[in-house]
Amino acid sequence: AQKVTQAQTEISVVEKEDVTLDCVYETRDTTYYLFWYKQPPSGELVFLIRRNSFDEQNEISGRYSWNFQKSTSSFNFTITASQVVDSAVYFCALILLTGANSKLTFGKGITLSVRP
């Protein structure tokens, strides 16, 4: 069975601070996808990034960056120079790449509050 742990439950920062959201996962499979989703107050889960278990390259997209380390089973997300619009709940998730099980396993989510 798969498991995703987001140990931080709530983080509060002041605008322009950098913030890192942690994600640790467990799976016995070697092929899987990892995801980060953002959930603003409206409720919709917005897809941010997908990482293949074979690809440990870090990724940067504007103010967002992701650090994937298989050795520690972690997939951390950093927001640089945070903005008020970044306030949301952020979920890390895992799905096995192949097989009949299409269930996304989510962490409990991290509530990020960015104060002006």
Give the CA-trace dihedral at 24, 42, 86, 114, to 10 degrees: -100
Closest by Cα among 66, 90, 93, 102 to 4: 93
Q: Does 24 bind another protein (CB under 8 A)?
A: no
* Angstrom distance (rounded) from CA 76 to CA 79: 10
Nearer to another protein, 42 or 61 (CB): 42
Q: Does 64 bind another protein (CB under 8 A)?
A: no
* Angstrom distance (rounded) from CA 101 to CA 21: 27
The least distance separating another protein from the CB of residue 15, rounded to whole angstroms, comes to 27
Q: Using CB under 8 A, which of 62, 71, 85, 100 touches another protein?
A: 100
Q: Does 71 bind another protein (CB under 8 A)?
A: no
**Binding residues for another protein (CB under 8 A):** 33, 35, 37, 42-47, 50, 91, 95-109
